Chain A
Amino acid sequence: MTGLGSPRVELRNIHKSFPGVVALDDVNLSFQPGRVHALLGENGAGKSTLIKVLSGALAMDSGQIFLDGQLVDVTSTTAAQAMGISTVFQEVNLIPAMSVVKNMALARNNGRYGFISWKRARKDATDRLKRLRLDIDIERPVGSYSVAIQQLIAISRALEDNTSILVLDEPTASLDAKETASLFAVINELKSNGIAIVFITHFLDQVFDISDDVSILRNGQLVSTDQIKDLTRQDVITQMIGRELDEAEHTAADKSNFTAGKDMLVAKGLGRHRTLAPFDLTLRAGEVVGLAGLLGSGRTEMVKLVFGAIQADAGSIEIDGVKMPKISPQKSLRAGIAFCPEDRKAEGLIGELSIRENIMLSMQAKRGWLKRVSRKEQEKLAEEMIKALAIATPDAEKPVGQLSGGNQQKVVLARSLASTPRILLLDEPTRGIDVGAHAEIIALIRRLCADGMALLVASSELDEIVAAADRVVVMRDRHKIGEIDGKEITRDNIIQMIASQ
C-alpha cells in the first residue's frame, strides 16, 4: 500500500470468475486522489475485468467497493457515472456511423423528458473536446476519424464535471508520441484538480513518465502495489511475467539473418484519389519493410491498398512478376498475401465465433468453401496457434469476443499465419500486446522473414520499426516521402524525415 492519505476508491476482496477462468482472485486495491495509478499485467491478467467491475459494467461475484470511505453498490455504468466514476473502455464503444455530437449526446440527457436539445448538445460537445484541445468537425461521423481521434473523443465523452476518478483502459494503444503527449498533459491537469486516475497500458515508458503508483496483476491476483520511484523497469517486467526478460531482445532483434531475396510484390503507381497519393513499393523475400509515419499519414491506407481491402483507382501490382488483373482480399489471399488489420473489433474478428473458427477462417477461404477443413485439422491448427502465440484461454471453443484485448490481437495474427502466406502485411501487429508477448512477436517476425517471407509492418511505435525492419518506408500527409535502409534506420533519422519539409 502506498500509505498516503485516505483513498478515493478502495476495492476489497474482489472475486470474479467466468466459465473456466478465474479472472479476479481476491484483489485488494486502493486509488488515491490526485495520483495516477498504473495497472499492469500480461494479456488476460484481469486488468480490464477489474475496471469493468469498478465501473459497473460487470457484476463481481463477491467483494466490496468503497468510494471516499463509503461502501457503494455499483450496479451499472450509469450508476457509476453518477457517483463520479468515469471510464473509457478498452474497446471504444462509439457508434461509427453517427456524428461526433450524436455520440456525445448519447451518453447523457441534456434536455427535458428524454428529449435532446441539439443546440446544447453541440455546445457541450465543443466544450468537452476543447478540454482535450481537440479541434475537429463535430458533424462528421466518428468512423471517419482515426482510431486515435476516436479514443480522444471517447475520453472527452467520459469526463464529467463531477468526475472524481477517471479510468482509462489502454488509451494510448493507438496513439503516436505527439498525441500521447497531449493526452498526458490532460491527465496531469486532471490530476492537479485532485482526480484519481487509473491507467492501464502495456507501454512501460509511459508508466514511468506519468504514473505515481503501480499495481501489477498476474493470473487474476494482485502481485504488488508500489510507488513508481521504488521500482525499476526490470522489476516491473519480472513481476508482470513472473520471470526475467532480457530486454535486449525487445529493442534490438537479431537482424544478422538479413539477405534480401527476389522481388515478391511490386506495386507501381498504386494509389487512390483523396486517400493516398500514388506510390511505388517493392517487397522482397526475406525482408521486413517497416512503415512509419504519424497518425493519419496514410500507413493503414497503404497496407489496405496493397491488400485490396481498399480499391485502388491508379497503378498496378505484380506478384512474382505476374500482374494481378484486379486486387481484392480474396485474390490477394489466393496469391499468398495475408493481412492483419489494425482495428481488430471492426475489421479483424468475428466476435460470436469461436477462437478455432476465427483462426481457420482465412485458411478455409483460401481453399474455397467446397473443400472444408476437417474438424480434426481445425482443432489441431487452433491448438498449435494457441500454443505458439501463448493465447490465454481455457479452450479453443471460447467465443473470441470474450478474450482479453491482447489475446484477441493474437488471434488475428494467428489467422493470417494459418493461411500460410508468402507475403504478410501487418498493421499495428502489437497493439495491446504485453511486454513479454511483444518481444516474442518481434522475434516471430524476424523468424518468418528468415524463412523467406516478405513482410510489411506498419506501426506507430518507432522502436518497434527500428527493431524489426530492414528497410523503412516513411509516410507524411498521405504521401510516401521516402525510404531508409540498413544502418540508417534509427529513431532520429525517421523522425527527421517525417519532420522535414
Chain B
Amino acid sequence: MSDISQNNTSMGWFSAIIRHRSTWPIVALCVILIVDGFISPNFYEIRIVQGRLFGNLIDIMYRAVPTALVAIGMALVIGTKGIDLSVGSIIAICGAVISWRIHAGDTHFVILLYALGAGVMCGVWNGILVAGMGIQPIIATLILMVSGRGVGLLINSLYGGTNPSFESPLLQGLSTGHIWLIPTRLFVAAAVFLGIWLLIRRTALGLFIEAVGGNASSANIAGVNARFITFLAYVICGLCAGWAGVIMTADIHTSDPISVAMYIELDAILAVVIGGASLAGGRIYLGMTIIGALIIQALTTSILISGLRPEYNLVVKAVVVLFVLLLQSANARQAIATIFSRLKR
C-alpha cells in the first residue's frame, strides 16, 4: 500500500498543474490582462514620461499597493482563523496621526515612525481583545472598525483640524515618487512583503500561526503559545495597515478619516481568499495573496477602460471573483482534473 502507485505518475504533470492551488488565480490574472488587450489595443504600452514609467500594467501594480499591503497582514490574521475588519479605520487613524504630527512640526522620519507606531498600537488593541480577552475576532475588530474613523477625527481636532492637508517630501516620496523609473511604493510593498515573508518563513512564526489556525487546542497542548501567536498576528496586521496608511495619506495629501480606504478590508479579505487561503484558518499563502490583490485591481482597471457603465462595475467584479473562488475549491479542481483526464483517454 505504501508503494507509489503507477497511476499517479501516468496522470502526469498536466493534471498536477490543474490540481495545484496556485494555477487558477494566475490563469485568471492572465485572462483578465489578455481580455484587456482586446478591449484596448495599446493596453500593454509602457512609456517613459518625466523620468518615470507609465502604462496600464504599471498603473495596476501602482494602485494595488495599498490593498496588497493590507492583505499581507490580513493573510496572517486569517491564518490564525481570525479576521481583522478594522484595517480601514487603522489607515484613517494613521492618516490623522501623520497630519497631526506635521502640524506639530516633527521631522518627517519621526512622523513615519509615528504613523507606523499608530498602526502597531491599533494591532495591539485588537490583539488584546482577541487573544487576551478571548473575544471573537469579528466582534473584537468591529469595535475599532466602527470607532476608528471617529478617533481619526478627534486626532484632527487636536490642532484645530480646520485644514488637515500637508506636504511631506519624505512621505510623498514614498507614496508617489519614483526611483530609477519605478514608482517608489512598489519598492515599499516589495520590502514589506519580503520582511513579513522572512519573519514567518525564516522563523517558526508561520508554522505556529498555521498550527493555531488549524487547531488551536492541539497547538496549545503541543506547547505552542496560541494566545501570544494570535496576538502577534494582529500586531503585524496593524503594522501592515500602517504602511498602507502612509501610502494612501501621502497620496491624497490630507487626512480624511471619513472616507479614506473605505471597504479596503473587504478587498484585502478577498485577496487572501482568492490567493487560496480559507477563512477556516490554517494556511498562509503570502505570494498568492499578492496575486489576489493584483486580480482585484486589474479587474477594476479593466472595467474602467472598457467604458462599461459604472453601474456594472461591482456586478462584473463579483462575477469574476465568484468564478475564481469556484476554481479555488478543491472539489471543483478535482472535477476539472477528472474531465481533462477523461478527454485525454
Q: Is A269 an interface residue (CB 8 A)?
A: no
Take A20-B5, A22-B5 as given contacts and tell me if A369 and B221 are in contact as well, using a CB distance cutoff of 8 Å.
no
Excluding A352-B214, A365-B208, 17 further A-B contacts by CB distance (< 8 Å) are: A20-B5, A25-B1, A44-B1, A329-B220, A329-B222, A329-B223, A347-B218, A350-B214, A351-B214, A353-B282, A357-B210, A362-B222, A365-B223, A367-B204, A370-B203, A372-B203, A393-B2
Q: Is B47 an interface residue (CB 8 A)?
A: no
- The docked-state distance in angstroms from the alpha carbon of A351 to that of B208 is 14
Kindly provide the distance from the CB of B15 to the nearest chain A CB, expressed in whole angstroms.
Answer: 11
- The docked-state distance in angstroms from the alpha carbon of A373 to that of B206 is 12
B218 x A357 contact (CB < 8 A)? no
Closest A-B pairs by Cβ, 10 of them: A365-B223, A333-B223, A350-B214, A219-B1, A369-B204, A220-B1, A352-B282, A361-B222, A350-B215, A372-B204
- The docked-state distance in angstroms from the alpha carbon of A350 to that of B214 is 6
Q: Is B8 an interface residue (CB 8 A)?
A: yes
Chain B neighbourhood of A25, CB < 8 A = 1
* The one of A21, A307, A362 that contacts B2, using a Cβ cutoff of 8 Å: A21
* The one of A45, A333, A339 that contacts B1, using a Cβ cutoff of 8 Å: A45
A350 x B220 contact (CB < 8 A)? no
How many interface residues does chain B have, given as a range? 20 to 34
> Which residues of chain A from 340 to 385 have any CB-CB distance to chain B below 8 Å in the complex?
341, 346-353, 357, 361-362, 364-373
Q: Is B153 an interface residue (CB 8 A)?
A: no
B1 x A361 contact (CB < 8 A)? no
| 6 A-B interface contacts by CB (under 8 A) | A20-B4, A329-B221, A352-B210, A353-B210, A365-B224, A368-B204
- The docked-state distance in angstroms from the alpha carbon of A346 to that of B211 is 13
Q: Is B207 an interface residue (CB 8 A)?
A: yes
B219 to chain A: closest residue by CB: A350
- The docked-state distance in angstroms from the alpha carbon of A19 to that of B334 is 12
Residue from A25, A352, A362, A370 whose CB has the most chain B CB atoms within 10 Å: A352
Residues of A in contact, count (CB < 8 Å)? 46
A49 to chain B: closest residue by CB: B1
B215 to chain A: closest residue by CB: A350
Q: Is B23 an interface residue (CB 8 A)?
A: no
B223 x A419 contact (CB < 8 A)? yes
Q: Is B309 an interface residue (CB 8 A)?
A: no
Q: Is A147 an interface residue (CB 8 A)?
A: no
A366 x B223 contact (CB < 8 A)? yes
Chain A neighbourhood of B221, CB < 8 A = 307, 309, 329, 339, 341, 347-348
- The docked-state distance in angstroms from the alpha carbon of A17 to that of B202 is 36
Q: Is A330 an interface residue (CB 8 A)?
A: yes
> Which residues of chain B from 3 to 44 have any CB-CB distance to chain A below 8 Å in the complex?
3-5, 7-8
Chain A neighbourhood of B204, CB < 8 A = 364, 367-373
Chain A neighbourhood of B142, CB < 8 A = none
Kindly provide the distance from the CB of A474 to the nearest chain B CB, expressed in whole angstroms.
Answer: 25
Q: Is A80 an interface residue (CB 8 A)?
A: no
Q: Is A3 an interface residue (CB 8 A)?
A: no
Residue from A368, A393, A394 whose CB has the most chain B CB atoms within 10 Å: A394
> Which residues of chain B from 281 to 295 have any CB-CB distance to chain A below 8 Å in the complex?
282-283
Q: Is B229 an interface residue (CB 8 A)?
A: yes
Chain A neighbourhood of B136, CB < 8 A = none
Take A45-B1, A219-B1, A352-B283 as given contacts and tell me if A369 and B205 are in contact as well, using a CB distance cutoff of 8 Å.
yes
Q: Is A266 an interface residue (CB 8 A)?
A: no
Q: Is B217 an interface residue (CB 8 A)?
A: yes
> Which residues of chain A from 295 to 343 have any CB-CB distance to chain B below 8 Å in the complex?
307, 309, 329-330, 332-333, 339, 341
Chain A neighbourhood of B157, CB < 8 A = none
A330 x B225 contact (CB < 8 A)? yes
- The docked-state distance in angstroms from the alpha carbon of A87 to that of B2 is 27
Chain B neighbourhood of A341, CB < 8 A = 221
Chain A neighbourhood of B217, CB < 8 A = 346-347
* The one of A17, A351, A373 that contacts B5, using a Cβ cutoff of 8 Å: A17
Instruction: Give 1 or 0 for each of B138-177: 1 = CB within 8 Å of chain A CB.
Output: 0000000000000000000000000000000000000000
* The one of A17, A46, A419 that contacts B7, using a Cβ cutoff of 8 Å: A17
- The docked-state distance in angstroms from the alpha carbon of A346 to that of B205 is 22
- The docked-state distance in angstroms from the alpha carbon of A366 to that of B4 is 35
- The docked-state distance in angstroms from the alpha carbon of A438 to that of B284 is 37
B223 x A20 contact (CB < 8 A)? no
Chain B neighbourhood of A329, CB < 8 A = 220-223
